[in-house]
């Protein structure tokens, strides 16, 4: 009940605050900006979903059913974009394609300067679609790849042996079998595209997340920002509802499950095409952005190596926040799943609320968190004033607590998913046997469940760690005074066009996020889960 109330509080706050707005400011927003905010947001959600669906399915199909050079290496490299913040990729491609960027300089050197007019700029909504698509497609790729390898393998092998062509194999066999996984991956992409702030803000695109930020800090109208946030919340709810509807509609159809994940090489007579396609994808999503980050970072450090000390404190802050948030959310998720196991389906409502929290963009969560926290801060100040303690200041909103509160609301679902899935694999007969032997619930949890599910707990922690260390909007708005993380430094330096400084901040994020991602990859491949 307590955790459910925590998750629901920001959502309720936004709904309440959106009722009473400054009509003059709201009329100004609706007249001049609202259509662009809404249109661009919906356009991004739809186009990025379509693009990532194409990229993710193509990569998964080639990775599972084709044999080509460097297949294992590419299969690993295709998941690494998860560790790269989309806004870092935006800095990279904007710097490369802008006037005076690397591409234009190369064309000038080769005396092909007339071709500069044909170089598309990423500072457009099409550029945002490109950036978000190449950074978010691993969500679809991972789920589709696993589903192809488990649900589709035997059937496709049999169909291929019967001489069915590849197009029919894909559309008639593989795709129907994998619809639930694909729908889940696309829904994650849609929510991430909806939640994006760093990319759209840097590339100058008017979306609802940018509108919330401008209404709040530019126009100084918290209620108008809350009303725009409520629209994003409605969109998030619609995405979740559609995902649930389609998943329930398709999960019972054409379903086959094979626990074996042994690689299948059905199509091996044309290895060049999958190699080229996968290589181009890895080049665009990983090699170019990371190379750009490394080049700019090294150039900066060669000029002044001592500047690295400026980023040490931000690195410590980022790691500390990610560690505390990961530990807190994993603990909460473990308690929720254990309680649900003991008491049955009575906690399903709270589990659904946690999903709404993840579906809500970070800037919306920040908006919903700050109001109740400031209210409690005022009550605390009044209490201390009664005791003749003046100048107490904002105790809660000026601390780590408000950030952890926001992370709990935003990322609880991330921690819940692997732990909930792991609990479903544990036979309840173990609980009954332990109870018959005199084990109490605390003993059951700490001495039996935790050792059995330790790997899943660790994966939940690592997933939350990755999300928090990359997170920008909530941290930017709710951070304590003079408290910086690597994501904030990257945002601020990029906003002031100090690209090398932004590159170094972003590179450090990639490094710190890659470590847990590699650990997760190793654990999956070691077949411990």
C-beta atoms surrounding 320 within 10 Å: 12
pLDDT band at 254 (very low <50, low <70, confident <90, very high): very low
Q: What is the pLDDT of residue 418?
A: 82
pLDDT band at 246 (very low <50, low <70, confident <90, very high): confident
CA 47, CA 189: separation in Å to the nearest integer? 11
Mean pLDDT in the chain?
81
Q: What is the pLDDT of residue 529?
A: 44
**Selected residue with higher pLDDT from 458 and 344:** 458
Average pLDDT over residues 166-192: 77
Cα→Cα distances 122→53, 80, 128, 194, 299, Å: 21, 22, 7, 18, 24
- The yes-or-no verdict on residue 179 having pLDDT over 60 is yes
CATH 1.10.3720.10 domain range(s) in the chain = 1-22+304-529, 33-85+122-283
Highest mean pLDDT among 19-23, 232-236, 296-300, 358-362: 296-300
CA 240, CA 229: separation in Å to the nearest integer? 16
Q: What is the pLDDT of residue 88?
A: 92
**Selected residue with higher pLDDT from 50 and 259:** 50
pLDDT band at 28 (very low <50, low <70, confident <90, very high): confident
CATH number of the domain located at residue range(s) 1-22+304-529 in this protein: 1.10.3720.10
Please name the residues in contact with 58: beta carbons below 8 A apart, sequence gap of 6 or more: 277, 281
Please name the residues in contact with 273: beta carbons below 8 A apart, sequence gap of 6 or more: none
Residue-wise pLDDT for 400-435, tens only, equals: 888 888 898 888 888 887 887 777 777 777 877 877
Highest mean pLDDT among 370-379, 383-392, 497-506: 497-506
CATH number of the domain located at residue range(s) 33-85+122-283 in this protein: 1.10.3720.10
Q: What is the pLDDT of residue 352?
A: 62
Percent of the chain at pLDDT > 70 equals 81
Average pLDDT over residues 94-108: 75
Highest mean pLDDT among 102-106, 236-240, 429-433, 459-463: 459-463
pLDDT band at 135 (very low <50, low <70, confident <90, very high): very high
- The yes-or-no verdict on residue 394 having pLDDT over 50 is yes
Q: What is the pLDDT of residue 413?
A: 82
- The yes-or-no verdict on residue 388 having pLDDT over 90 is no
Q: What is the pLDDT of residue 55?
A: 94
pLDDT band at 256 (very low <50, low <70, confident <90, very high): very low
- The yes-or-no verdict on residue 173 having pLDDT over 80 is no
Q: What is the residue whose two structure tokens read 């003749």? A: 388
- The yes-or-no verdict on residue 289 having pLDDT over 90 is yes
Residue-wise pLDDT for 60-80, tens only, equals: 888 887 888 888 888 888 989
**Out of 58-62, 174-178, 247-251, which region has the weakest mean confidence (pLDDT)?**
247-251
Q: What is the pLDDT of residue 133?
A: 95
Q: What is the pLDDT of residue 148?
A: 77
CA 290, CA 195: separation in Å to the nearest integer? 23
- The yes-or-no verdict on residue 151 having pLDDT over 80 is no
Q: What is the pLDDT of residue 321?
A: 93
Coil/strand/helix, residue 365: helix
Buried b (16+ CB within 10 A) or exposed e, 407-433: bbbbbbbbbbbbbbebbeeeeeeebee
Q: What is the pLDDT of residue 260?
A: 45
Phi–psi pair at 261, nearest 5 degrees: -110, 25
Q: What is the pLDDT of residue 351?
A: 62
Q: What is the pLDDT of residue 165?
A: 63
**Out of 86-95, 201-210, 219-228, 239-248, which region has the weakest mean confidence (pLDDT)?**
239-248
- The yes-or-no verdict on residue 121 having pLDDT over 60 is yes
pLDDT band at 528 (very low <50, low <70, confident <90, very high): very low
**Selected residue with higher pLDDT from 108 and 58:** 58
First-to-final CA distance of the chain: 30
> Whose CA is closest to 201, among 55, 85, 355, 287?
85
**Selected residue with higher pLDDT from 147 and 276:** 276
């Amino acid at each position: 009940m307590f955790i459910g109330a925590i998750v629901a509080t920001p959502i309720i706050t936004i709904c309440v605050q959106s009722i009473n707005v400054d009509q003059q400011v709201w009329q100004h927003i609706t007249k001049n900006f609202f259509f662009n905010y809404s249109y661009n947001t919906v356009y991004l959600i739809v186009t990025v979903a379509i693009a990532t669906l194409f990229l993710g399915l193509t990569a998964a199909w080639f990775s599972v059913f084709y044999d080509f050079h460097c297949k294992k290496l590419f299969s690993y490299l295709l998941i690494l974009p998860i560790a790269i913040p989309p806004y870092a990729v935006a800095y990279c491609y904007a710097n490369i394609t802008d006037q005076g960027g690397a591409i234009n300089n190369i064309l000038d050197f080769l005396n092909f300067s007339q071709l500069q007019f044909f170089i598309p700029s990423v500072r457009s909504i099409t550029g945002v679609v490109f950036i978000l698509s190449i950074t978010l497609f691993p969500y679809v790729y991972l789920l589709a790849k696993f589903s192809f390898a488990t649900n589709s393998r035997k059937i496709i092998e049999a169909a291929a042996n019967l001489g069915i062509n590849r197009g029919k194999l894909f559309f008639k066999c593989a795709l129907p079998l994998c619809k639930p996984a694909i729908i889940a991956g696309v829904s994650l992409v849609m929510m991430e595209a909806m939640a994006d702030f760093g990319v759209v803000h840097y590339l100058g695109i008017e979306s609802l997340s940018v509108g919330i930020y401008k209404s709040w800090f530019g126009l100084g109208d918290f209620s108008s920002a809350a009303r725009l946030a409520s629209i994003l919340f409605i969109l998030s709810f619609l995405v979740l509802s559609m995902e649930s509807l389609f998943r329930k509609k398709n999960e019972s159809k054409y379903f086959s499950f094979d626990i074996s994940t042994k690689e299948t090489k059905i199509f091996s007579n044309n290895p060049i095409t999958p190699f080229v396609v996968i290589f181009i994808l890895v080049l665009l999503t990983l090699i170019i952005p990371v190379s750009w980050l490394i080049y700019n970072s090294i150039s900066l450090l060669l000029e002044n190596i001592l500047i690295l000390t400026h980023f040490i404190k931000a690195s410590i802050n980022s790691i500390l926040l990610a560690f505390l948030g990961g530990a807190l959310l994993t603990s909460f998720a473990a308690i929720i799943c254990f309680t649900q196991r003991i008491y049955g389906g009575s906690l399903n409502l709270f589990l659904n609320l946690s999903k709404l929290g993840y579906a809500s963009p970070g800037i919306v969560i920040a908006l919903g968190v700050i109001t109740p926290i400031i209210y409690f801060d005022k009550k605390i100040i009044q209490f201390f004033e009664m005791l003749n303690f003046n100048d107490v200041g904002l105790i809660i909103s000026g601390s780590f607590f408000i950030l952890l509160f926001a992370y709990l609301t935003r990322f609880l679902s991330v921690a819940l998913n692997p732990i909930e899935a792991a609990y479903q694999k544990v036979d309840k007969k173990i609980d009954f046997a332990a109870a018959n032997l005199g084990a109490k619930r605390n003993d059951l949890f700490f001495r039996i469940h935790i050792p059995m599910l330790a790997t899943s707990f660790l994966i939940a922690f690592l997933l939350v760690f990755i999300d928090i260390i990359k997170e920008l909007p909530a941290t930017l708005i709710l951070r304590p005074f003079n408290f910086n993380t690597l994501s904030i430094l990257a945002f601020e330096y990029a906003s002031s066009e100090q690209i090398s400084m932004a590159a170094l901040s972003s590179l450090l994020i990639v490094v710190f996020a890659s470590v847990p991602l590699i650990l997760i990859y190793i654990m999956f491949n070691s077949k411990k889960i």
